[in-house]
Structure formats: C-alpha cells, structure tokens
Structure 1
Amino acid sequence: MRSRLAAAVFLPLAAVALTGCGLFGPEAYEVDERSIEVDAGDEFALSVPANPAMAQDFYLVSPHPDSAVVRRTGEVEETEAGDPGVDGGGDGTRTFEFKAVKAGTTKIKLIHCPLKSCFPTRDNPDALPTAAPTRPVPTATSSPGTNPEYFIYTVTVR
C-alpha cells in the first residue's frame, strides 16, 4: 500500500520537475538568454513577460528567422488571474515556439512594446513604435524596460 501511495505522489511531481528540463516540452529561453544552441529536430521556445491587458507585450518582427534553419510552430499566452481595475489584469507570459530544422545560424527578432508605446497587432506585427522620442528603437541589453526595444536572439542549430 505504501509503495502505491509513494508512486502516486512521486510520479506526478517527477513529471512536473522534468517538464522544466525540456523532457516533456520544448526548452524555454527567457529574455536574458539570447544566444541559443539546439540540435536539428529539437523544439524550443522564447518565453517573455507580457501583460496584454496593460498593453505590454512582445511581437515577432522582421526580418523573420531563416525558415531553412528554424520554423515557427506556435505561440502561447498565459496570464495570471487578476483584477483589471486594480492590478491591470495580472502578469503573464508570451511564449513563441520554434522547431530547429537544419544546421545553421539565424536571428529571431522580437519587439517589446510597453504601455501602448507601439502598436503592432497580430495582423500587422511589423508596425513600428509610434512614440517619436523612441525612434529608432534600440536593441535591448537587459530586461524589458519602459521604452520599446528589440530583443534579438541568435539561434545556432547543430
């Protein structure tokens, strides 16, 4: 009886722990990990902070990654519950998912748009920031700030 109880508790916990290792899902890279090395056939993801309810989000922009090296496979938005009137609706994460196709190097370019500072949409992701003082948009060197910034990831597929 004890071994069944131990297995019932241990196995789900092990699965959760291994998920973070990329065993049950793609390896996820955050904003501070901009040099990525993966093997051909691997799936990986770029996980960035987002709060669309407060008009703070990331978008994939041109130039898009070389599709012969990596292919975009999806995008997921996760938002924590929150009260929009009190805390902006909760923080969240936007995850851009990719698959490594074949050996080579390419760049993935995301733009961070805080506080309605730029207006790309899912239909027009290449729209430029509209706030005059922020043109041209700089490339980010740290975590997302209060101005629009490009986050450029270099992906090397082995």
Structure 2
Amino acid sequence: MWLNSGNSQFLKFTENTLKNNELNRLLSTNYLSLDTKNQFLEQTNRRLEKLIGDDRKNTTRQLQKLSDSIEKHLKDEYQYQLFKVHFEEVHPLFYKRLLEIDNSFSDGNLKLASFIKMGFNNSEISFFLNVSLAAVKKGIQRMKQKLNIPPHESLREFIFKI
C-alpha cells in the first residue's frame, strides 16, 4: 500500500513537471514573439526618423506622429505585464515570495528571476533579454547579494525552491 502511494506521488510529480516544462516553453515562445515585434518596431522607427529629416512639412508632421506612437508603444510595459501574468499562472506566488524576501526587486530583477525559474541558461537569458552574457552574469551576482546567498551556493537552486 505504501509503495503504491509513493508510485502515485511520483507519477503526479512527473506529470506536474512535464506540464510546467510545456508551460515554460509556451511562455518563452510568447516572449520571443513580443521581442521580435519590438525589434521590428525599433527598425521601423529608425527608418521613420530618417524620413523626418526631409523638409516636407506635411509629411514630416505625419511621420513625427507615427514615430511618437511607435516610441510610446516601445516604452510601454504592456508586453512585460502580459508576460508577468502568464508567468504567474504557471508559477503562482513566485513573485510574491521573492518580494517577501527582498521587496526592492526591480522589474529587471524579476525578469531575470523568471527566466532562471523557467530553467533557461545564461546564454538563453541573454538572448531573451537582449543583453550581453556579462550583463546576465552580473545580474545574477547582484541578485545573490540582494538575497544574501553565500558565494558557494547556487542562485538557481535557491530560485527553484521558491
């Protein structure tokens, strides 16, 4: 009877792990899609800014409005908030528990912690956040300090336990 219960718990654990892996893949796909859109908007905005340099008054005015609109959307935190909502569906209470440990975490800290929680390595995180590998490593180092994690202990293991 005890063996059967242990087997049942193992199967449930395995099923939950597979479900989390699938949801993490969905989260990363959504994030990549948003990142690709933002890259497109940035390129379009650069092209528009070049056109604004022309002396055509009416065209310039219209192009400036379009450029301002694109700039506003690029700075908008909507995409991150959407990612955050989906992440919290997969990992409920993660942000809350992390902020209970240190409530001074910025959105950048939370993004980094999210990708670590999803199981991505430093190179993948660098790609997703569009920052250098050195920036990711420095962010991890700073997060360890904020969380008072000794140098010989792993931030990843700490985050996986949250």
For normalisation by structure 1, the TM-score amounts to 0.27
**Structure holding more helix per residue:** 2
**Structure holding more strand per residue:** 1
> Which structure would you say has the larger RCO, counting Cα contacts within 8 Å and 6 or more residues apart?
1
For normalisation by structure 2, the TM-score amounts to 0.27
Q: Which has the larger radius of gyration?
A: 2
